[in-house]
Amino acid sequence: MYHKGKRKGDILEMVAKPLSEIPIKYICLKEQQKLITKVDQILTAKQSDPTTDTSALEAEIDKMVYELYSLTDDEIKIVEGVQRDTKLK
Indicate the pTM of the whole model.
0.69
12 close to 2: Cβ distance less than 8 angstroms: yes
Per-residue pLDDT of the chain (89 residues; tens, 9 = 90+): 666 667 777 777 777 777 788 888 889 999 999 999 999 999 999 999 999 999 999 999 999 999 999 999 999 999 888 755 555 44
In angstroms, the CA 33 to CA 51 distance is: 26
Nearest alpha-carbon partner for 41 in 25, 60, 57, 62:
57
Phi-psi region of 78 (alpha: psi -120 to 50; beta: other; left: phi over 0): alpha
